[in-house]
Amino acid sequence: IAREMHDVVAHRVSLMVVHAAALQAVARKDPEKAVKNASLVGDMGRQALTELREMLGVLRAGDGSVRGAGYGSAPVQAVPLAAVGAAAAAAASRVAEEESEGPCLDDLDELVGQSAAAGMVVDLSVEGETRVYAAMVEQTAYRVVQEALTNVHKHAAGAKTRVRLAHRGAEIAMQVENGPPPEPGAASDARLPSGGNGLLGMKERVVGLGGVFVSGPTDAGGFRVSAVIPAGG
């Protein structure tokens, strides 16, 4: 649940901050572009709210193993930590099962397009024969690319970025690599906070499906995120 919340909030809101900064910069000089950026900020906000509501809806539809007291209800009873953990695990499982309409590989073009609209020079390439995978495999692949792009916005604003997706016989591989930012310190101009959990969350998702995740700086001064996930999940 924490990973889902992090991915949705971090990516959508990061793009909103980037677009808002651009809006502030061009508001007087280019009203037409300002209107476009304002529209994009609104779209991002609505998408974030929709995804958050879907996740919260899944939690509310649970079996009520752990729930708080509403106004006028009886005092909240102490709940054992083990019960909280079990309820959280069950809720996370329901999120995975009921997220059939969640992000998938077909949504990558839109995802990359959103970053391009925010000013990122980004290219998406796909290798191999396109096919359909299990929902969790596609969602994990999408989230890896999503979080990697979010990190570029946070830490390497303006850097050229390449997204690669490879369909292989028994696995699917993805890689997001960015070069060094054009101006050192440019990323801090947007004042995007970083909790340091993005890479850990990506690794947990990929390893949880039996895959391999590797990330680190490149010799050229950029950063690379690579993941390979078994096709069967």
Each domain of the chain, given as residue ranges in start order, spans 2-230
92-96, 104-108, 175-179, 216-220: segment of lowest average pLDDT: 92-96
| pLDDT confidence bin for 88, thresholds 50/70/90 | very low
| Percent of the chain scoring above 90 in pLDDT | 34
Question: Buried (b) or exposed (e) across 93-124, using 16+ Cβ within 10 A?
Answer: ebbeeebeebbbbeebeebbebbebbebebeb
Cβ within 8 Å of residue 215, ≥6 positions away: 199, 202, 203, 223, 224, 225, 226
Q: Is the pLDDT of residue 47 over 90?
A: no
Enumerate the H helices of the chain as residue ranges.
2-26, 31-60, 81-98, 108-117, 135-155, 198-208
Average predicted confidence (pLDDT) for the chain: 76
Which of 19-28, 52-61, 158-167 has maximum average pLDDT? Answer: 158-167
Q: Which fold has domain 2-230?
A: Heat Shock Protein 90 (3.30.565)
